[in-house]
Structure 1
Amino acid sequence: MCVVGGLLAPTLVLAQEQEGVPIELLQLRNSAKLEESISPLTRSLLPSFVSGDTISGRTDLETVVEGHAMFRKADMVIKADRLEYNQPTDLARAIGHVRINRAGNIFEGPLLELRVDAFEGFFNTPNYHFLKNDGHGQADRVNFLDDQRAVIHNATFTTCKRDGGPDWLPAWILKASRIGIDNAEDVGTAEGAVLSFKGLPVLPIPYVTFPLSDQRKSGLLPPTIGLGNVNGFELAQPYYWNIAPNRDATITPTLMTKRGLNLGTEFRYLEPDYTGTAKMDWMGSDDLRDRSRWSLNANHQAKINSDWADNGFNLNLNLNRVSDDNYWKDFSRATVTTGQLSVNDAALVAANTQRLLANDAQLSWANGPFTSMVRVLKWQTLQDLENSAANIVPPYNRMPQLTTHYASETESGLNLALDMDYTRFESDNKVSNQNNGQRLFSLMQVSRSWRAPEGFITPKLQFHATQYEFDAPLSTGQKQASRVLPTFSLDSGLVFERDTEFFGRKLNQTLEPRAFYVHTPYRDQSFLPNYDSGANDFNLSTIYTENAFVGNDRISDSHQMTLGVTSRLLDPDTGAEAARFGVAQRILFDDQKVTLPGGTALTDRVSDLLLSGSVNWDPRWNFGGTVQYNPDIERTSRSTLNATYRPGSYRILNAAYRFQRASSEQIDLSWQWPLADLWGSSKQAMTMGDSAGRWYSVGRLNYGVNEGQMVNAVLGFEYDASCWLGRVVFERLQTGTSRASQSIMFQLVFVGFTGLGVNPLQALKNNIPGYQSLSQPAGSPSRFSNYD
């Protein structure tokens, strides 16, 4: 575990960034605030109101109010035992139990002198409370410089709420010889400052600036400290640069005791016609591998205005590169994006997220019923240099790919569609064992759907035409090949409904039988290469499709019928689904001869039986699952079961069981739960919405039954004390068959001020479905929320 001690720095600027906020939301709001302060000129033109037990004075000269005195003008209210106001000098003097509320910011003390319109003056020994960050403190004196700026002497600052006790001390407090407040920039500055936590000095700082709202500002972000078995002791000091309202950057040097110094940068930008991010990490000398290491991730989206397309052109660039094959192991937290992939490529990448890096450029546009795209896609594949058995065959590069899609509906209800795809496929022949080449594929289809409340029927006719040209002859001696195939399908279903009652609850029950017939004649395709085809996952969605494969290199011969039935229980008032149950099975009339390379022909006349169900009877509970039953062996070949329990905010339990015969069996548990509930707290605590004052357990355990060991694990605790948060999280990530990275993340957050340590929120969100951050910001409050 890491302990943050007394860190001394000549100058520390606690910058304000908005972590995790999409780039389109990063525009600075200084020109569009909902509640601008009233200017001195406007205030001088507004009337003044006074009240009290007794009022005396001379007209247009001075006014004296005694007993429950109150002076009100525009967004400012002054209350005191005695109040004197000199109109020629615009000077107000308040004595005894003075309270001033200006636009929600409150100061209280014994003596105030203030020029009202200019808002210049002083306040002796005040207590104060700031509206925007809910911070408060006390000082020897406050000097108001103008309506936006103030200087507080010998001051304290905290966001911890008072409990009313005479000996109360805040959990954390900033003490400074001088604090400057600038509401125009939403920035506070402190000189000679010491940050204390639980009475112990944590961060002595000669000079510090801190945000007064959620507005972004440049400066040093809090340092982060971590500990892991790969990096050793880790210290990072990020610097946030608020370049412009629509641009920012974060520069993060990180020292790793076992490896060296890493420099990370992230740049984000937003323009009317384009937006994007760019991230780069550079380690000049990594002691772990005795070489330099780097990674690059860039994402750019742009709209190009043009009369050639209905709405112009859309450009998407997604670049991901790293220095070497071991990067995915040594930097297990490296983030890459994969862009828009084919279904088969997406399935491959899903299993190897950090090992297949897409470099993708797409230009798309629409012209009436046509939607078109030009694309270049090149992969970087990271192999396992320590275990050749774990190596993967990379997808083919598309250099380039051109596609167009046409769709329209005639007046008679016919649906016409045309898909065309030209792709140049390239890869390393030594790895793929196939010739590179180019393919032109087209799919023409016409269908007609008749639908009614009681059911539907949809006949469809398809024509597949494919032309190949190869760089070198195939084993048959051909450098060209072609394939033409028709497909006929008929999809039909009925819907029966009835009113029923289960466990005293009135419901609508449906019975929805469905029959799907498809016929595609056999064409020998075994001599053709396989560039992008894969087997469809066998589930209740794909069992009702024409082709057993994804991609365009294999079109399955089919003469089969799929029969299924679904029953749903619906709430008659809202239409919400309380439960769903389904079963389906495929009947083969002829053997299916077309296979993927190395595959076997499908000859079973009856497929596995698919059963699925989901129950949402109570909003707090959710159950679901799918079972694939093999009638030949009379056993389950694959199953997935899951359950979620969520009785309220910050309370969620997830459980999942995944089984695939002769392959894998895993148990997955994740949770976020208040420990007090586990120890038998009150029923009220089980339904409370806020999280303050509680310990929480968080975690995820992913256990491999076949391996007999934990695959991935996240375990931690959180504490929310309202004005401060504490988190300690242990994470274990499997990076190889016998290798895993382990790290401890510790974070201490002083709400409304700053945070210290490594932020584990992203790890918790990635591993715990439904996880909620404690004390989420509610946005800037209205001044009328603290109105006198």
Structure 2
Amino acid sequence: MNAPRRLFGLLPLVCVAASPSARAEPAFSVVAFQLLAGQAAAASAVGSTDASAPLTHVEADRIDGRENVNLHAEGNVRIEREGTTLNADKVDYDLLEDEVHAEGSVVVRRGTDTISGPRLRMKVDEKTGEMETPHYTLERSRAMGGTSTPMKGHGDAEVLLLEGENRYKLKNATFTTCDANDPAWYLKARELDLDFARADGDSRNATFHVGGVPVFYTPAATFPLSGDRRSGLLAPTFSPSNVTGFDVTIPYYFNLAPNYDDTFVPRYMTKRGLQVNNEFRYLFPKSSGILRTEWLPEDQERGESRSAVAFTHQQSFDYGFSGLVNYNAVSDKDYFTDLSSRVTQTSTDNLVREAAINYNAGSWLTGGVLVQRFQTIAGPLQYNRLPQVSLQAYVPEFSGFSFRMPVEGAYFQRDGSDEGWRTYSYPQVQYNYVRPAGFVTPKLGLHTVSYNMDTRVSAGPTSATRSVPVMSVDSGLYFDRELQIKGRDYYQTLEPRLYYLNVPYRYQDDLPVFDTSVADFGFAQIFSDNLFVGQDRFANANQLTAAVSSRLVNASTGAELLRGALGTRYYFTDQRVTLPGETARTGKIADLLGSFAGRVTPTTSVDFFLQYNPRDSVLEQATAGVRYQPAFASVLSASYRYKPQQYTDVDLTAQWPIYGGFYGVARINGDIETKKLTEGIAGFEYNGSCWVARVAAHRLLNTSGFYTNAYYFQVEFGGLISVGNSPVALLQRSVNGYGRINQPIADPAFGQE
């Protein structure tokens, strides 16, 4: 009899379909018909009628079989079950053994994974079996650098064994993430285990080939199939340096638990010796932390042991309380200069050691207790705070008024200097008159500071109190207008602002100075109530600040495209309160400030700032920057900084495609006046689709006045392994707008105004 186009039944729960011209054996057709009609006898003979059982769908040019025994399908066979699809020229399904034998162009697909070969034997429910001479393709997501990127791998084998759900064992197999038939690299192993449940691969007796040439052999190795962590050796790094010699690390990662791990890093430097480094990380529901240690038993250059430790811990308690521990130490002040090429470390002046308990329950009262010490590496000594207790009461809104009162007491300690207690309070009350067209906010405050000294080295009393009343009025207006530029809708704002400040003079020259310095003159400072940062001095003032800013905003998105501002200050009285050694300001007109920043075209952004002294017709400082970025990993940037008698700094950075997959990267940072290079980087990158190579040279002027030269060479093989010393962190930190060429991301700003 002719089989229907789609006939559903249970074999167990088999869905059968054949072409209209196909013939089916009567026995099979009767069984299928009885199952479709719900005959209990036939159903119980071939499988459960439980609706939750897996449904199997079969299509073929010809289907026949024996009731409750087997199914035979030929010609364009397609079997689907639980997300798995099997295609073959011929399939025999033994119902009693639940075993499938497939021959001829066999292809098994599950999700994004594909396995193909001439023959397959498989236990369907157990998902076990084997395939001869298979070719396989897998695709998984790998987490790198905070983003998730796909990792696609494929290869061939002599035999592939299915060992259960998402587990495969391959013999005499290859693996690569390259797409080409002639891959740039591949791993060839006698045995290869791919476990997608654990998201890792294990190889035994494996040889890594590059360009068809065996590069290295390993008796056993593991590699990730996703971003999941697991214990094992990480890729070694190596780089030459003029201060460490040839520098090699071989990290080993311990995945101790889902919430804590450890990385052990032996590091050998031909000029210094063997250093042992370790990083332990932990994360619990209410706490987290990192402990880093470095130990060099004997520095061959200095003939002594050298070490470093860094520990951070954050703790959350109940009822709004939290804690912090931050401890950093090195064995000597030259440690970072000699043993690190990182800018953030070679330029470190002070290492902080502190512990704190803080309170912030989202109410009107916050506070904390801090104990803080410093290890000075370079630069001026810092005062230790042993301890510092602070509270702040803040009422943001009450009938138009707001109230703020910070209170702090600290004991300042530094050998050979003034030591003792300083307490201060600064209650302030402000009325907030705010409307859509503008605002007026008058404010009154009283800044009080008291000293009780144990040691007084500078001239002055051992105890003193100073109180200064502070009065200010801040006001501004808001105007905007609609306009069109090249058919697009924008609006432009005009925002004038006036700020008046009055602080009477109080004599303060006999007070000690613990943590106070002159604030940098800029747009933030001209609207503040004190020209000093810190509590030891409060400047007298009778002055008016005037500024105006304008913004260009995209009307549809609300994105700010351009911003410009001008501001200055007029003094009605001369400065009388100063820091030791500081010259008091005279004159009525302050410096003129100007800034302009934003995206002038979809691919070009600028940033300008200047401070001009109209009294002496002198440019006090200026910065100018421009960045051109038409696409990802294509950026040119230039900036200039100028301050008389201090620096004339030029910074040029670039990342640009050269030809094919080649990119160039560079940075030149230095002072024009001294003609001295501060930092220089030159390098090349190559994106070979399934592999990436990077070469870079780095020259850095460290705090000791000497140059550190470091060289980087890295090859990444398709997310599988990375060999060499990566310059990526250096380039991301130093090259403005740098993009990792094997992790392109969409920048929504590209092509927009």
Identity between Structure 1 and Structure 2 (%): 36
CA distance in 2, matches of 1:403, 1:336: 30
Matched, 1:359 2:342: no
Which among 214, 234, 237 is matched to residue 227 of structure 2?
Answer: 214
- Deviations 1:131-156, CA, capped at 9 Å, x for gaps: 22411111111122323432211111
* 1:511 positional shift: 2.0
User: Which range is displaced more, 404-413 or 696-705?
Assistant: 404-413
Structure 1: gaps spanning 5 or more residues? 1-41, 163-167, 306-310, 338-351, 384-391, 677-692, 779-788
User: Which range is displaced more, 644-653 or 541-550?
Assistant: 644-653
User: Residue type of the partner of 1:722?
Assistant: S
User: Residue type of the partner of 1:218?
Assistant: S
Question: 2:38 maps to what in 1?
Answer: none
Which among 376, 384, 401 is matched to residue 381 of structure 1?
Answer: 376
Which among 403, 408, 411 is matched to residue 390 of structure 2?
Answer: 403
Q: Relative to 1, partners in 2 of residues 1:477 and 1:557: Cα closer, same or farther, differing over 3 Å?
A: closer
User: Which range is displaced more, 765-774 or 290-299?
Assistant: 765-774
Q: Is the contact between residue 600 and residue 606 of structure 2 (CA under 8 Å) also seen in structure 1?
A: no
Question: 1:741 maps to what in 2?
Answer: 708
* 1:479 positional shift: 1.5
User: Residue type of the partner of 2:622?
Assistant: S
CA distance in 2, matches of 1:44, 1:256: 63
* 1:584 positional shift: 0.9
* 1:777 positional shift: 9.3
Matched, 1:157 2:175: yes
Question: 2:677 maps to what in 1?
Answer: 710
SS in 2 for 1:543: helix
SS in 1 for 2:730: helix
TM-score by length of 1: 0.84
List aligned pairs for 1:194-209, cutoff 5 A: 194-209=207-222
User: Residue type of the partner of 2:729?
Assistant: Q
User: Residue type of the partner of 2:77?
Assistant: A
Matched, 1:64 2:59: no
CA distance in 2, matches of 1:772, 1:566: 33
* 1:504 positional shift: 6.3
Question: 2:18 maps to what in 1?
Answer: none
Which among 554, 558, 571 is matched to residue 537 of structure 2?
Answer: 554
* 1:630 positional shift: 1.3
Matched, 1:420 2:387: no
Matched, 1:170 2:170: no
User: Residue type of the partner of 2:287?
Assistant: Y
List aligned pairs for 1:506-517, cutoff 5 A: 506-517=489-500
- Deviations 1:316-372, CA, capped at 9 Å, x for gaps: 1111100001113112346989xxxxxxxxxxxxxx951210111111013631101
CA distance in 2, matches of 1:714, 1:334: 13
CA distance in 2, matches of 1:44, 1:85: 22
Q: Is the contact between residue 192 and residue 206 of structure 1 (CA under 8 Å) also seen in structure 2?
A: yes
Q: Relative to 1, partners in 2 of residues 1:150 and 1:450: Cα closer, same or farther, differing over 3 Å?
A: same
- Deviations 1:286-313, CA, capped at 9 Å, x for gaps: 11221111111111001122xxxxx331
Matched, 1:720 2:707: no
Matched, 1:629 2:623: no
Question: 1:619 maps to what in 2?
Answer: 602
- Deviations 1:600-643, CA, capped at 9 Å, x for gaps: 11112111111111132323221111111111332312001111
Q: Is the contact between residue 384 and residue 413 of structure 2 (CA under 8 Å) also seen in structure 1?
A: yes
User: Residue type of the partner of 1:627?
Assistant: L
CA distance in 1, matches of 2:56, 2:495: 73
Question: 1:606 maps to what in 2?
Answer: 589
Which among 247, 267, 270 is matched to residue 234 of structure 1?
Answer: 247
SS in 2 for 1:587: strand
Q: In angstroms, what is the RMSD of aligned CA positions?
A: 2.0
Question: 1:753 maps to what in 2?
Answer: 720
* 1:706 positional shift: 1.4
- Deviations 1:489-534, CA, capped at 9 Å, x for gaps: 1111122223345566553222222111101111111111110111
Q: Is the contact between residue 594 and residue 601 of structure 1 (CA under 8 Å) also seen in structure 2?
A: yes
CA distance in 2, matches of 1:43, 1:155: 41
CA distance in 2, matches of 1:612, 1:148: 59
Question: 2:320 maps to what in 1?
Answer: 312
List aligned pairs for 1:259-270, cutoff 5 A: 259-270=272-283
Q: Relative to 1, partners in 2 of residues 1:327 and 1:224: Cα closer, same or farther, differing over 3 Å?
A: same
CA distance in 1, matches of 2:399, 2:78: 78
SS in 1 for 2:427: strand
Q: Is the contact between residue 466 and residue 483 of structure 1 (CA under 8 Å) also seen in structure 2?
A: yes
Q: Is the contact between residue 320 and residue 336 of structure 1 (CA under 8 Å) also seen in structure 2?
A: no
| Relative contact order, higher structure (CA 8 A, sep 6+) | 1
* 1:573 positional shift: 2.7
Which among 712, 725, 729 is matched to residue 696 of structure 2?
Answer: 729
User: Residue type of the partner of 2:299?
Assistant: D
Q: Is the contact between residue 43 and residue 73 of structure 1 (CA under 8 Å) also seen in structure 2?
A: no
Matched, 1:115 2:115: no
* 1:409 positional shift: 4.3
* 1:111 positional shift: 0.8
Query: Which has the higher Rg, Structure 1 or Structure 2?
Result: 2
CA distance in 2, matches of 1:369, 1:762: 42
CA distance in 1, matches of 2:479, 2:119: 80
List aligned pairs for 1:419-568, cutoff 5 A: 419-429=406-416, 434-473=417-456, 478-501=461-484, 506-568=489-551
User: Residue type of the partner of 1:160?
Assistant: C
CA distance in 1, matches of 2:728, 2:356: 33
Question: 2:5 maps to what in 1?
Answer: none
CA distance in 1, matches of 2:548, 2:231: 60
Matched, 1:93 2:93: no
Q: Is the contact between residue 272 and residue 301 of structure 2 (CA under 8 Å) also seen in structure 1?
A: yes
User: Residue type of the partner of 1:143?
Assistant: L
Q: Is the contact between residue 126 and residue 140 of structure 1 (CA under 8 Å) also seen in structure 2?
A: yes
Which among 62, 81, 106 is matched to residue 73 of structure 1?
Answer: 81
* 1:410 positional shift: 5.4
CA distance in 1, matches of 2:84, 2:479: 68
Q: Relative to 1, partners in 2 of residues 1:476 and 1:235: Cα closer, same or farther, differing over 3 Å?
A: closer
Q: Is the contact between residue 328 and residue 382 of structure 1 (CA under 8 Å) also seen in structure 2?
A: no
CA distance in 1, matches of 2:59, 2:482: 68
User: Residue type of the partner of 2:350?
Assistant: L
Greater percentage in strand? 2
Q: Is the contact between residue 44 and residue 117 of structure 1 (CA under 8 Å) also seen in structure 2?
A: no
* 1:550 positional shift: 0.7
SS in 1 for 2:702: strand
- Deviations 1:557-598, CA, capped at 9 Å, x for gaps: 111111111122223333322322211111111111111111
TM-score by length of 2: 0.88
Q: Relative to 1, partners in 2 of residues 1:750 and 1:398: Cα closer, same or farther, differing over 3 Å?
A: same
Q: Is the contact between residue 56 and residue 79 of structure 2 (CA under 8 Å) also seen in structure 1?
A: yes
User: Residue type of the partner of 2:406?
Assistant: D
Question: 1:321 maps to what in 2?
Answer: 329
User: Residue type of the partner of 1:183?
Assistant: F
Q: Relative to 1, partners in 2 of residues 1:650 and 1:729: Cα closer, same or farther, differing over 3 Å?
A: same
User: Residue type of the partner of 1:157?
Assistant: F
SS in 2 for 1:762: helix
Q: Relative to 1, partners in 2 of residues 1:670 and 1:569: Cα closer, same or farther, differing over 3 Å?
A: same
User: Residue type of the partner of 1:568?
Assistant: R
Question: 2:575 maps to what in 1?
Answer: 592
Which among 133, 143, 163 is matched to residue 145 of structure 1?
Answer: 163
Q: Is the contact between residue 419 and residue 456 of structure 2 (CA under 8 Å) also seen in structure 1?
A: no
SS in 1 for 2:480: strand
CA distance in 2, matches of 1:503, 1:113: 67
- Deviations 1:617-674, CA, capped at 9 Å, x for gaps: 3232211111111113323120011112222222222211100012100111122221
Which among 175, 182, 204 is matched to residue 191 of structure 1?
Answer: 204
Structure 2: gaps spanning 5 or more residues? 1-49, 141-150, 746-753
* Paired positions, count: 685
Q: Relative to 1, partners in 2 of residues 1:135 and 1:506: Cα closer, same or farther, differing over 3 Å?
A: closer
CA distance in 1, matches of 2:490, 2:123: 70
SS in 2 for 1:546: coil
CA distance in 2, matches of 1:422, 1:219: 50
SS in 1 for 2:97: coil
CA distance in 2, matches of 1:503, 1:596: 54
Question: 1:251 maps to what in 2?
Answer: 264
SS in 1 for 2:305: strand
Question: 2:740 maps to what in 1?
Answer: 773
CA distance in 1, matches of 2:492, 2:201: 62
